[in-house]
Chains A and B, each alone.
Chain A
């Protein structure tokens, strides 16, 4: 998320009314804050060869930050690990217990090998969403490319696990048992479409939640500046300020809930592939 007040950076985007307040530091042409600007991919270093574009971007940077924080979380949580846990150990064990609980409730004992996968997904998405709520940062999960890559990974794992465990019998998932043949003509395409649309819904849910929340925050934060510079109306800027604070709290909740929902749905989809009772 980025707030409109960015005094130290070029290309300041502020409403004309806010120019007075801003002119002292920089004389650039200000314009209406663009709430989509925060999603821009900034290419820091060109990498890759030929058609393969592997540029190091702000998305790459924040992915590495997420990885570093995950490593720090594990390091803090598992050093001096003892029978009586310290704060970090209790936090790490709490997250593990939470994820193990989701896996156990939705898949059962056969889901144990998938705990590291679900844990990685949950941790990555949670850290991405939370880091994105710090001003001036970039939200990795606000990009459909990232969320779709996750959803496609989950989809592929579901298909591979299903076929590996049940062979061609896996496709009986689209043919519910004890259904009259006439209805099968209708139900099988419906089941197939609902199965194929899973990666779309999974990726769009996360992407849309993060994008919408960040746009909302940016827009309301912009109102603080434009109202604050509106002379006699300036005291009214308290209203969008209050709303921004409230939305920020809501976005914190959304950040956690979306990570949970992604992990939960992954478990539910995996359960269909592993246990196959439809």
Chain B
């Protein structure tokens, strides 16, 4: 077996020592750079995660602030609406009362003028009846009555 030919061992060991020493120097020189990149990446990922957490907390805070503002605004709006509704219904009631008043006055005025008209009409009815009586008496009895006499008769009969 060539492996147990130890006359060939020394050159292998010497070359191995040389090559492995060079490899060790290479690795020692290069590994810190690789490790630095790995650590930079880990640090950057950690920083990104931290800033994302902070942004999330901020967003949550502003969301809860926003919802309270929303609730306030809703309360305000409800208040304004109910106030406006109250004011509107009060105004409506007031105008209704005004209109009622006006209508009442007009109704009274109308009733008064109706009464006067009726009185006037009734008064005129007497003179119409007296005229009718003069005509009737003249045709039936041939007697001429004066309108004053006829009016007296009519007044007696009507009473």
Residues of A within 8 A of B (CB): 36, 39-41, 43, 47-48, 52-57, 59-60, 63-64, 66-67, 70-71, 74, 77-78, 81-83, 85, 89, 92-93, 96-97, 115-117, 119-120, 123-124, 140, 142-146, 149-150, 153, 207, 211
Kindly count the residue-residue contacts between A and B in the assembled complex, taking CB atoms under 8 Å apart.
123
Q: Judge whether A39 and B28 touch: CB under 8 Å.
A: no
Query: Helix, strand, loop or mixed for chain B's interface?
Result: helix
Partner of B28, one of A64, A71, A116, A140: A116
Which of A83, A120, A123 lies in contact with B41, CB distance below 8 A?
Answer: A83
The verdict on B35 contacting chain A, using a C-beta distance below 8 Å, is: yes
Contact A117 B24 (CB under 8 A): yes
Closest beta carbon of chain B to A170's beta carbon, Å? 24
Q: Residue among B5, B9, B19 with the most chain A CB within 10 A? A: B19
> How far is A74 from B28 in the complex, measured between Cα atoms in Å?
11
Given known contacts A41-B2, A57-B8, A63 and B15 CB-to-CB distance under 8 angstroms: yes
The smallest beta-carbon distance between A75 and chain B, in angstroms, is: 9
Bitwise interface map of B from 1 to 31 toward A, beta carbon under 8 Å scored 1, else 0:
1111111111111111101101110111011
A53 to chain B: which residues have CB within 8 Å?
A: 7, 10-11
Q: How far is the CA of A63 from the CA of B24 in the complex (A)?
A: 13
User: Is residue B132 contacting chain A, with contact meaning CB distance below 8 A?
Assistant: no
Complex formed: what's the CA distance from A94 to B9 in Å?
34
B13 partner residues in chain A, CB cutoff 8 A: 145-146, 149
Task: Take A115-B31, A117-B24 as given contacts and tell me if A64 and B19 are in contact as well, using a CB distance cutoff of 8 Å.
Answer: yes
CB within 8 Å for A54 and B19 given contacts A36-B2, A116-B27, A144-B4 = no
Q: Are B19 and A96 in contact (CB under 8 A)?
A: no
**B136 at interface by CB-CB < 8 Å:** no
Q: Which of A52, A56, A89, A96 contacts B35 (CB 8 A)?
A: A96
- Consensus secondary structure, chain A interface: helix
Q: A78-B33, A96-B34, A144-B3 are in contact. List 15 more A-B contacts (CB 8 A).
A: A57-B8, A57-B11, A57-B15, A59-B15, A60-B11, A60-B19, A66-B23, A67-B22, A77-B34, A78-B34, A81-B33, A96-B38, A116-B24, A119-B31, A145-B6
Q: Is B37 an interface residue (CB 8 A)?
A: yes
Contact B44 A116 (CB under 8 A): no
B15 near A81 with CB under 8 A, answer no
Cβ–Cβ < 8 Å partners of B6 in chain A: 145
The answer, yes or no, to whether B86 is at the interface (CB within 8 Å) is no
Q: Are A71 and B26 in contact (CB under 8 A)?
A: yes
Closest Cβ of chain B to A100, distance in Å, is 8
Q: Are A59 and B12 in contact (CB under 8 A)?
A: yes
Chain B residues positioned under 8 Å from A211 (CB to CB): 1, 3
Check A54 against B20 for contact (C-beta < 8 Å).
no
